[in-house]
Amino acid sequence: MTGHRDAGSPEDRYRHGLDTFARAWAKALHRAHYVPISAAERYRIVRSLAERLVGGLFAEPPDPTAGIGVGKDLVAAGFASPDALGRTIAILNTRLAADLGLPADAAMPIRLTALLEGLAAGFTAAVHDRSLDAQDAVRLAALAAQTRAEQALRANEARFRHLATHDAWTDLPNRTLFVERLDRVLATGPPSRRVGMCCINLDEFATVNDILGHDVGDRLLAATADRLRALAEPAGHLVARFDSDQFAILIEGTTCAEDAVKVADQALNALAEPFHIDNTEIPVTASAGVAERSVGSGDTAELIRATQIALHWAKADGKARWALFAHERSAADAERYRLSAAMPAALRHGEFALAYQPLVDLRDGHIAGVEALARWHHPRLGVLGAGQFIELAEHTGLIVPLGHRLLEQACQQASTWQQDGYGLYVNVNIAVRQLHQTGLVASVAQILDRTGLAPYRLQLEVTEHAVIELTDPIRATLAALVELGVRIVIDDFGTGYANLANLRTLPLRGLKLDGSFTRPAPRIGKPPPPAVRQPDDTAFLATVVALGHTLGLTVTAEGIETASQARRMRAAGCDTGQGWYFGRPASPGEITRRVADERR
Amino acid sequence: MERPDWAPEGIDLSKASVARAYDYWLGGSHNFAIDREFARQAIAAVPDLRLVARANREFLHRAVRFMIDMGIRQFLDIGSGIPTVGNVHEIAQKVVPDARVVYVDIDSVAVAHSQQILSGNKFATAIQEDLRRPEVILDHPATRALLDLDQPTGLLLASVVHAIPDEDDPYGILNRLRAALCPGSYLAISHVTTDSRPEELGEGARLSGRTTTPVTARTRAQVERFFDGLELIEPGVVWSPLWRPDSPEDVGDHPERMSFYVGVGRTV
């Protein structure tokens, strides 16, 4: 086979010129690249494109697609800037023919123009496609970014919402969420629909914290939350932690209070199982307040308050139990609170006064003395008996100034009777709290001094409860009072399991038997079987009176309302009697009249 | 449970993004009308801004190739912007197929686009974060997953430090980032300056005030301070075309017109 190198392709023939041209082209395209590439890489790319251009230039028949392909590939290689096209056209026009040493052929410029036409068209078409693709991509990216931002925002909102509506330690819903749910239940249900709620509180949580530490306390709370959650959530009840050791359960769709009580009962039972924390068994009790009612009968705050009040009752009634809210008890509580709040002003305004009830000598029926009984002349409620406010006064501590005031009044009155020659003694009640006051003996002495009452005419009545746990200071106070010449009697004897030894050692004057001795309680229910021995009331009474006399004490019978009761108590050996049969509490004037009548 | 300290910002497409404007200057189409409006105004102030952007881009590529030659196999590219063909991971992974790259940008669109491009590339990822929170970037799960900071790292801060105003303590931020790198790591910075063309670049910087990341231009001395305590690689902090050009002809007649100071330092 023979052949000539001359007959080779145009690429071969113009190899040297192509190298020169490609170097010039590559230099022209510096920084016309969309992204940087090395100079060598740039040369490699345009050298190959130049070869294809020359191939297209000499193709027979002329191939218009050669220019289009080169234009597209320029863009594909990254030479996509306007500069890249402009400089490419310029360099092809000015350098290609010269670098390749092309003959001055009339057809050549026409062929070159066709090639450039294709190159420009291919380039712009590719740039157009590329721009459209890029725009799609950036819009998709923006959409993705927007979606992600919104998701993140929603997730964040959900997280904030969870934080705002849940307790961080137990992850239980908090009071906010509970109130929201209850609001919704109360706002949306038909008015006849019912709802229940219980409020649960650990009884000795502060003690656990103090003794075992806050760490154990915190874990106890978490364990409590778990038990309540396990109990209530399967049943569809909302459990929330209100604060510290207080939890609440919402019971929707109850039919009656019993439904809510049942849940409270279950909750207390669940908490009654001992907890085990750090291998330590922690026995716990809890109390619950329960309220249940129809949706239409009040708002969220009222329902929550009702359970809190009921919880307070459960605690006051001895803890480890539930209490169901009742309006009557709540109203009574409120009335007690109002009375107790009004008492200091009432004391300032002189609304407290004394009534006197006769104490009658059972041997001959004459009035030997009186018991001074406190009365509150309430501007709105009328006259209130001691039973309605003395306990409140003891609770608030107002009993101390009030007791002092009443003692003074009583002594003043007894002194008047003493001056009039009636010689009545006066019994005045002293509260336990007053006995604890260090100044009691001194103020009694002052009052006696000021009023001029003979000390033996003052008898202070101390309840049996006061001497159950007799402390040394109280013993000393009683002894000092007796030293003054004042007499001490035990009130309500027989109700408080008084220590018999105390009765013997205390400098007492007498006993006042509780009213129950006078009016034995009627037997309730079926009569007992004959084998069970009935205590004999009369014999029992006689024994108690004998006990008093053995100790050298006078014995007073209280609550005598009928002649037969009076006979019975006299027969039992009581020295003195008191009760409606002998006279109701009366004004001093009335007492004076009666005594005056007796003496006439 | 902790309170979240970060609320994601909604993306604001009514404000120009420098990341997308930069893409436009480079000749890209990953941008929106608002970005192009800003980009064209900047070109009106700095007519050869496209070249400035390209020269800066070229420096980044040379710096990456340099670091690969120095044995770096993992890169943290903060302020990576809109990814284009020939990005850091392409350059690096062409030489070392499992070279690791973490891209970080404040622009959520740029990050989303990067993530689209990088889906399927298990050695490169993109996260949205702010250079001003270096610890968050360094402790990010994606960073932790891809980069082993006990190995030398290439830290790339191309055209991003000038987005930190002085009151945000850019030197302190750089120190915190550098402290996380082990000895033998490299840091590349390119930074806008008004030293050579105060009026034109000053106007460009002023215009950037309407974007999401305004620019603070700095002097050569100020840029050099970012490399304090590092071994500064030759030729030091120079105009962008002058940093180890591939060939003398790539430098051009007026390298100072490229208005970026660049440099690479090595941790010791």
Q: Is residue A149 part of a domain?
A: no
Instruction: Indicate the residue type of A9.
Output: S
pLDDT tens, position by position, A146-156: 888 888 888 88
Identify whether residues A119 and A192 lie together within a single domain: no
DSSP H or E stretch at residue A154:
helix A107-165
Q: Which residues in chain B have their CB less than 8 angstroms from residue A171's CB?
A: 1
Helix, strand, coil tally for chain B in percent (to 5):
45, 15, 40
pLDDT at A262: 94
Q: Is there a contact between B112 and B17 (Cβ–Cβ < 8 Å)?
A: no
Instruction: Tell me how far apart the alpha carbons of residues A96 and A113 are, in angstroms, rounded to a whole number.
Output: 12
Across the interface, do A145 and B112 touch by the CB < 8 Å criterion?
yes
Residue A27 touches chain B, beta carbons under 8 Å: yes
Across the interface, do A137 and B116 touch by the CB < 8 Å criterion?
yes
| Number of neighbouring beta carbons within 10 Å of residue B168 | 13
Identify whether residues A428 and A308 lie together within a single domain: no
Identify whether residues A113 and A18 lie together within a single domain: yes
Residue A154 touches chain B, beta carbons under 8 Å: no
Instruction: Tell me how far apart the alpha carbons of residues A55 and A57 are, in angstroms, rounded to a whole number.
Output: 5
Give the phi and the psi of residue A232 in degrees, each rounded to 5.
-90, -35
Q: Is there a contact between B22 and A2 (Cβ–Cβ < 8 Å)?
A: no
What's the per-residue H, E or C state across A180-221?
HHHHHHHHHCCCCCEEEEEEEEECCHHHHHHHHCHHHHHHHH
- Tell me the pLDDT of chain A averaged across its residues: 88
Lookup result for tokens 């910087």: B205
Identify whether residues A78 and A112 lie together within a single domain: yes
pLDDT at B10: 55
Across the interface, do B31 and A138 touch by the CB < 8 Å criterion?
yes
Residue among A25, A27, A29, A34 with most chain B CBs within 10 A, to mutate: A34
CA-based nearest distance A274→chain B, Å: 28
pLDDT tens, position by position, A547-583: 899 989 999 999 999 999 999 999 999 999 999 999 9
Identify whether residues A485 and A439 lie together within a single domain: yes
Q: Which residues in chain A have their CB less than 8 angstroms from residue B110's CB?
A: 141
- Give the pLDDT mean for A487-503: 78
**B154 bridge partner residues:** B75, B186
Provide long-range contacts, Cβ within 8 A and 24+ apart, for A412-416: A412/A451, A413/A354, A413/A356, A413/A372, A413/A588, A414/A451, A414/A453, A414/A457, A414/A458, A415/A451, A415/A452, A415/A453, A416/A588
pLDDT at A36: 67
Between A and B, how many residue pairs show a Cβ–Cβ distance under 8 A?
104
Across the interface, do B11 and A140 touch by the CB < 8 Å criterion?
no
Q: What does A432-445 look like in DSSP terms, one character per residue? A: HHHHT-TTHHHHHH
Residue of A nearest to B52 (CA): A31
Identify whether residues A398 and A476 lie together within a single domain: yes
pLDDT tens, position by position, B183-230: 999 999 999 999 999 998 899 889 888 888 899 999 999 999 999 999
Q: Is there a contact between A292 and A254 (Cβ–Cβ < 8 Å)?
A: yes
Q: Which residues in chain A have their CB less than 8 angstroms from residue B8's CB?
A: 148-149, 152-153, 156
Instruction: Tell me how far apart the alpha carbons of residues A240 and A170 are, in angstroms, rounded to a whole number.
Output: 9
Identify whether residues A309 and A373 lie together within a single domain: no
Q: Is the pLDDT reported for residue A533 higher than 50?
A: no
Q: Which residues in chain A have their CB less than 8 angstroms from residue B86's CB?
A: 35-37, 78
Across the interface, do A34 and B27 touch by the CB < 8 Å criterion?
yes
Q: What does A37-92 look like in DSSP terms, one character per residue? A: --HHHHHHHHHHHHHHHHHHHT-SS--THHHHHHHHHHHHTT--SHHHHHHHHHHH
Q: Is residue A464 part of a domain?
A: yes
Q: Give the domain-ending residue among A80, A111, A136.
A: A136
Q: Which residues in chain B have their CB less than 8 angstroms from residue A34's CB?
A: 26-28, 84-85
| Peptide linkage before B235 cis (omega within 30 of 0) | yes
Geometric angle at alpha carbon A560, from A559 and A565, rounded to 5°? 135
Residue of A nearest to B114 (CA): A141
- Spatial CA neighbour of A137 closest among B22, B140, B114: B114
Identify whether residues A212 and A100 lie together within a single domain: no
Identify whether residues A366 and A479 lie together within a single domain: yes
pLDDT tens, position by position, A454-467: 999 999 999 877 77
Distances (CA, A) of A122 to A18, A113, A126, A190: 22, 14, 6, 75
Residue of A nearest to B115 (CA): A141
pLDDT tens, position by position, A289-334: 999 988 888 889 999 999 999 999 999 989 999 999 988 888 888 8
Q: Is residue A298 part of a domain?
A: yes
Across the interface, do B116 and A160 touch by the CB < 8 Å criterion?
no
Q: Is there a contact between B53 and B131 (Cβ–Cβ < 8 Å)?
A: no
Sign of the dihedral through C-alpha A407, A408, A414, A415: positive
Domains assigned to chain B: 18-266 (3.40.50.150)
Residue A76 touches chain B, beta carbons under 8 Å: no
Q: Which domain holds residue A510?
A: 343-519+533-595
Identify whether residues A486 and A410 lie together within a single domain: yes
Across the interface, do A142 and B8 touch by the CB < 8 Å criterion?
no
Across the interface, do B10 and A130 touch by the CB < 8 Å criterion?
no
Q: Is the pLDDT reported for residue A39 higher than 90?
A: no
Across the interface, do B249 and A160 touch by the CB < 8 Å criterion?
no
pLDDT at B244: 95
* ipTM (interface predicted TM): 0.80
- Give the pLDDT mean for A379-406: 90
CATH assignment at residue A562: 3.20.20.450
Identify whether residues A487 and A564 lie together within a single domain: yes
Q: Is residue A155 part of a domain?
A: no
Residue among B15, B85, B103, B118 with most chain A CBs within 10 A, to mutate: B85
| Domains held by chain A: number | 3
Identify whether residues A408 and A502 lie together within a single domain: yes
